[in-house]
Amino acid sequence: MSIWLVRAGGSGEYENKFLEEGRIYVTWDDFDCNLRQLASPEELRVALSEQYPEAKAGTVKNWASQIWPFAKRMKIGDWVVLPSKKKASIHFAKITGDYQHIPSGPSPFFHVRSVDWFAQDIPRSNFDQDILYSFGAFMTICQITRNDAESRIKRMAQLNWKASSRLAPLDSDITDSIDQASSLDIERFAKDQMAKFISAKFSGHGMVRLVEAILKAKGFLTYRAPAGPDKGVDLLAAGGTLGFESPKICVQVKSGETPVDRPTLDQLIGAMQNFGAESGLLVSWAGFKGSVDKELPAQFFRVRLWDQDALIDELLECYDMLGEELRAELPFKRVWAIADSE
C-alpha cells in the first residue's frame, strides 16, 4: 500500500467537491487528454506541451511527473492524504476505483478516481513535524515516502489519530531536507512549528489565557472564568472603556485533540442568550467537524470560529501589542522570504 498526496486546487477551491463526491481529480485547467491512451511519460510531456505551449520544458516535466502516477501508478487500496487549505486539518481516503477519463468534463474535471474518505478533519497538530513537512511540498500530486511515513500514519489511524508527540524537535534529517528542497511551503512549515510550540506551552486552560490576551490586544475588556466547569463560557468580552459597549461576546475555548462537533456550537449559542451577548467566538485548537461548518451561513452574523490556523493568524496580527511577559513566552520573529510563483 502506498500513500499519495493530492491537492484540491491551488487554494483548496475544490476541496468540498472532492469530499462530497468521494472522488479525487487532476486539476490542470483544460487538459482533457485521455491518459489511458498514453504509453509513456514522454508522450504525456508532449501532450502537455501541446496544451500549454508557453510552459517551460522544466515545468512540463514537473507536471508530467505528477499527472502520470495518477493514471498509471496509483492502485486500488492505496491511501490518499488531502491537506486542507481551508483549515488546519488533514483528510484521508482509500482509493476504490481505477483511473477514468471523463471527456465531457467540465474543466478541469477530466481525470478522476473514486475514493472512500474514511477519516476527515484530523488536526494537523496531531502529526509529527517531519510528517507535516512531507505534506507541505508544493506538489499537487506525489507519493509520500520519507521518514517511514506510511507505517507511522497507519499506526496513528489504528490509535484513532492521537498525537504521537506534543512538541517534535526539528532534527537534522528535517533541516537537511529543507536545505535541499526547492518546493517547500515555508509559510505552512513555520505555522506548523508555531502550532506545536503553542500546543505544548498553552494546553488546557492556558489556551483561554492566550485567547484573552489576543482579545485584550484588540481593545476588548474581558472577564475570564476560573478553571473548571464553565457553563459554556470561558471568556466574556466587550468594547468600551468599561466594557459596556458592543459587541458583547461569549467565548468558548476547546484545547483538546478532537475536532468540535455541532453540540458545542449549540451550547455556545445558548450561553449567548443566557449572558445577553450579541456575538459568540468558538475557538477549537483541533478544528471543527463538517456539521459545524455547515452551520456557518446561518450563524454568520452571530458567531465566529477560530481553529489553530485562525488563532495563530490573530496572534501574529497583534503580536507587537501583547504584554512583554506573554511575548517572552512566545519567542516569534517576523521574517521575509521569496514567494514561489509556481
Q: How far apart are CA 207 and CA 195, in angstroms?
A: 12
The answer to the question of residue 317 being in a domain is: yes
Structural domains counted in the chain: 2
Per-residue pLDDT, 135: 87
Per-residue pLDDT, 173: 42
Q: How far apart are CA 163 and CA 165, in angstroms?
A: 6
The answer to the question of residue 337 being in a domain is: no
Considering the domain architecture, whether residues 131 and 220 belong to the same structural domain is answered as: no
Determine the residue type at 32: D
Q: How far apart are CA 4 and CA 79, in angstroms?
A: 6
Considering the domain architecture, whether residues 12 and 159 belong to the same structural domain is answered as: yes
Per-residue pLDDT, 183: 55
Per-residue pLDDT, 164: 62
Per-residue pLDDT, 168: 43
Per-residue pLDDT, 21: 97
269 phi, psi to nearest 5 deg: -65, -40
The residues that bridge with 305 in the sheet, in sequence order, are 282
Domain end call among 200, 217, 240: 200
Neighbours of 167 (CB within 10 A): 13
Structure confidence by residue, pLDDT tens digits, 139-195: 899 999 888 888 999 999 999 998 765 444 444 343 333 333 445 677 888 888 899
Per-residue pLDDT, 181: 42
Residues near 311 by beta carbon (within 8 Å), at least 6 away in sequence: 198, 210, 211, 214, 283, 285
What is the per-residue burial (b if ≥16 Cβ within 10 Å, else e) of 290-307? eebbebeeebeeebebbb
Per-residue pLDDT, 175: 38
Considering the domain architecture, whether residues 189 and 172 belong to the same structural domain is answered as: yes
Please list the pLDDT of the chain residue by residue as tens digits (342 residues). 899 999 999 889 999 999 999 999 999 999 999 999 999 999 999 999 999 999 999 999 999 999 999 999 999 999 999 999 989 999 999 999 999 999 999 999 999 999 999 999 999 988 988 888 888 777 899 999 888 888 999 999 999 998 765 444 444 343 333 333 445 677 888 888 899 899 999 988 999 999 999 999 999 999 999 877 666 799 999 999 899 999 999 999 999 888 999 999 999 999 999 999 999 999 999 999 989 989 999 999 999 999 999 999 999 999 999 999 999 999 998 888 776 655
Considering the domain architecture, whether residues 240 and 180 belong to the same structural domain is answered as: no
Cβ–Cβ < 8 Å for 235, 283: no
Considering the domain architecture, whether residues 225 and 322 belong to the same structural domain is answered as: yes
Per-residue pLDDT, 178: 38
- Give the CB-side neighbour count of residue 35, counting CA atoms within 13 A: 25
Per-residue pLDDT, 253: 96
Residues near 8 by beta carbon (within 8 Å), at least 6 away in sequence: 14, 15, 17, 18, 24, 25, 27, 82, 85
Domain end call among 200, 228, 260: 200
Q: Which of 160, 128, 162 is nearest to 146 (CA)?
A: 128
Whole domain around residue 304: which residue ranges?
A: 206-329
Inter-axis angle of helices 186-201 and 308-317, nearest 10: 90
Q: How far apart are CA 233 and CA 254, in angstroms?
A: 11
Considering the domain architecture, whether residues 218 and 104 belong to the same structural domain is answered as: no
Domain end call among 148, 167, 200: 200
